[in-house]
Structure 1
Amino acid sequence: MTAVPATFAPEDLLSPADFERAAAALLPAPVRDFVAGGSGTELTLAANRAAFDQVRIVPRALRDVSGCALATTLLGRPVSMPVATAPVGYQKLVHPEGELAAACAAKEAGIPFTVGTLSSYTLEEVAAVGATTWFQLYMLRDRDQSFDLVRRAEDAGCAAVMLTADVPWMARRRRDLRNGFALPDDVVAANLSAGTGSAAHRAASGESAVARHTAAAFAPSLNWADLEELRRRTRLPLLVKGVLDPADAARAAECGVDAVVVSNHGGRQLDGAVASIDVLAEVCTAVAGRCEVLLDSGIRSGVDVLKALALGASGVLVGRPLLWGLATGGTEGAHRVLELLATELRDALGLAGCSEVGAARSLRTFRGPWPADRTGAAYRENGGVEGTVQR
């Protein structure tokens, strides 16, 4: 694996994977594990990447791609590329400016920023940055507090509400349990009341304080009636995140949502759940154009975005790579990661014979493992070091 210098500039890092290695060298081990880890034995965490690697694109030839364009729309609003940030809590863990810096990066990149219920800055502070802001909602046991958060999001000028549907409680994440993970005193869930928002700071041995906190705060009774009530209560576009079964996607569309997000929570909830991209095409068929379909979990490159588009997605959510950039260089680092995604996506689109985003949805795909001795794998396993692959 390539060594990361003690000091470096974001422009010297040439891929999101470079930022991952840089962030791993900078972050305390418990924080690194909290961001990078998955639930259980991390089977689904690994499956997300393995599934992406098995999707193969059939490029089209003799297409004019001299004006290859990434701009499109998500939820009816223009975006610079078919990407939004995924909701990730407690971003102050990796950088003092946390969500504020990440939202600045999203604004500069021209994509939506998703501020979470567990944001370490208030949704009002994040929305004031000026990015197109989506608010992610965890349904709380206190339904009145939940709907008050939605009202606050509307008042703050947020452009959409995203209900997370796959976290009745936080799954057992063994890395956090081994680390006895707890939040530092200066990191809180700023959107919640003082007692509720600061309850994740002390952990006993073999315990995650964050998991204990969410088990006490989140509503395991979340159901379709809650989604329907949320639809009635907000005028904003509504997304539901954490959908994997096509039947659930179809029912969400019937409830009037504007988008479903196909997601296994980045491999952080049910260990053994299907990789998100493996069910993407079926979900797109099930909703039959009644709402948009976004893909979350495992996106690490512009080629991954192209694969999601080819399988029917309107766009993708990017989570961990943004945090790696944030940890490495604040707003500049996070923006550099988004720039690299845009550069890689433009390269992938053009080389696939697509002059714009919509054309990617007509690309043919195949699935199957690559040869075990493929040079790309050897290159990645050596950390991207040139000259290490024997041909």
Structure 2
Amino acid sequence: MTTVSGPPRAVADYARLARDVLPAAAWDFVSGGSGTELSLTANRQALDSLYLIPRMLRDVARISTATRLAGTAAALPLAVAPMAYHSLVHPDGEAATARAAKAAGVPFTVAMLSGTPIEQVAASGAELWFQLYWLRDRGATAELVMRAEAAGCRAIVLTVDVPRLGRRLRDHRNNFALPEHVYAAHFRGEAAVGAQRSRDGGSAVATHTTEMFDPALSWRDIEWLRQRTKLPLIVKGILAREDAVLAVRSGVDAIVVSNHGGRQLDGAVPAIRVLPEIRATVADEVEVLVDGGIRSGTDVLKALAAGADGVLLGRPILYGLAVSGEAGVAAVLALLRAELETDLALAGCRSLAEAARLTTCELPNPSGRTSASS
């Protein structure tokens, strides 16, 4: 095990520290991918193979990282990605993450499978988005949208790449089930606690989601949802340009180019690889966000140069939370901000708009090495 000496200086340091403090099964749940984890590994390799061509003599004495994402003001081109069960890694759970996001000035996406109800998370004062999976009970889906609106959420994020859960072999081998203190706080009865019991000798989480999620989700349902909320609608999980076109036709406000952090279809292309094509396809008709393997401010800059309006940050948030709760999340976000500001200056960019005009190229990734931990 690599030891971090002194205070963490990079997000990868938080990953190593989190692995030291989390139970092995919880670490696997957070950091693992599906199948042979081909896509999980490829996400990092794709980012490591993408290089920036900086500009010089551009007067970068003043730099701005401020933007708006899906209508929400953001101090960075970044929102916290939807991730289930923050209380699995720290007892303060989503409330701590939301407070850190508020302090950093970035939106926090409350997962449908949050361990803390949206109403309690809203007490943080953070700018909140709310994530949905499509439930077999359409009435329950509509009820969650109404709860999100009543709690003051600024956008709905519909994750569309989970008609069923990917085979996350680490969880199956661990017979992973949530501990008793962790449950789906937006539900009641068996729907809330179903992931606490492994009923088939495999992953209790996989069994639970299979029972709850509706695999019949289609573009017609996106249109149904669009008609039932005035909030900006973000569709997460797009990789094909054809689906990006359909998303625009369905009236969404933004798409997230994503392979679910390598946790769904193993072998799905890294999002950063198809981002330029999707950006060119949709032009400025909708905002385009991206996730998958983002581990540094340099990665954020690469995403902007490749066509993204912003990124979603996932696992590093949970690593910071596991290490030191709210302070850990705040430290991760502060590191990313410092890195992004430095890299913008070094690339000759005073603003995110100038970053979007940077040129990139691809070079071989030496020996398949990745620059950061999962």
TM-score, L = length of structure 1: 0.93
Q: 1:141 aligns with which of 111, 136, 139?
A: 136
In structure 1, the residue matched to 2:3 is 3
CA contact (8 A) 2:71 2:232 kept: no
1:141-220 equivalences in 2 (<5 Å): 141-204=136-199, 206-220=201-215
Structure 2 residue 264 is the aligned partner of structure 1 residue 269: yes
Displacement of 1:193: 2.0
Secondary structure of 2:227 counterpart:
helix
State the Cα RMSD in Å.
1.5
Structure 2 residue 48 is the aligned partner of structure 1 residue 53: yes
In structure 1, the residue matched to 2:307 is 312
Displacement of 1:206: 4.2
The AA in structure 2 aligned to 1:141 is R
Q: Cα distance 1:206–1:4, how it changes in 2: closer, same or farther (>3 A)?
A: farther
Q: 2:33 aligns with which of 30, 38, 41?
A: 38
Displacement of 1:289: 0.8
The AA in structure 1 aligned to 2:71 is G
Displacement of 1:355: 0.7
Q: How many residues align?
A: 373
Cα distance in 1 between the residues matched to 2:267 and 2:54: 32
Cα distance in 2 between the residues matched to 1:328 and 1:237: 33
Structure 2 residue 117 is the aligned partner of structure 1 residue 122: yes
Overall identity of the aligned pairs, in %: 54
Deviates further, 204-213 or 284-293: 204-213
CA contact (8 A) 1:183 1:201 kept: yes
Displacement of 1:4: 4.3
In structure 1, the residue matched to 2:22 is 27
CA contact (8 A) 1:180 1:204 kept: no
Displacement of 1:205: 6.7
CA contact (8 A) 1:138 1:163 kept: yes
CA contact (8 A) 2:110 2:128 kept: yes
Q: Which runs of 5+ in 2 are unaligned?
A: none
Cα-to-partner distance string for 1:270-319 (whole Å, 9 max, x where unaligned): 00000010000111111121110000111000000000000110000000
Cα distance in 1 between the residues matched to 2:200 and 2:124: 39
The AA in structure 2 aligned to 1:96 is P
Cα distance in 1 between the residues matched to 2:25 and 2:200: 13
Cα distance in 2 between the residues matched to 1:206 and 1:61: 59
CA contact (8 A) 2:43 2:292 kept: yes
CA contact (8 A) 1:4 1:25 kept: no
Structure 1 consecutive aligned stretches of length 4 or more whose deviation exceeds 6 Å: none
Q: Which runs of 5+ in 1 are unaligned?
A: 384-391
Displacement of 1:127: 1.6
Cα distance in 2 between the residues matched to 1:255 and 1:302: 33
Structure 2 residue 352 is the aligned partner of structure 1 residue 330: no
TM-score, L = length of structure 2: 0.97
In structure 2, the residue matched to 1:105 is 100
Cα-to-partner distance string for 1:322-345 (whole Å, 9 max, x where unaligned): 000000010000000000000011
In structure 2, the residue matched to 1:225 is 220
The AA in structure 1 aligned to 2:114 is S
In structure 2, the residue matched to 1:386 is none
Secondary structure of 1:198 counterpart:
helix
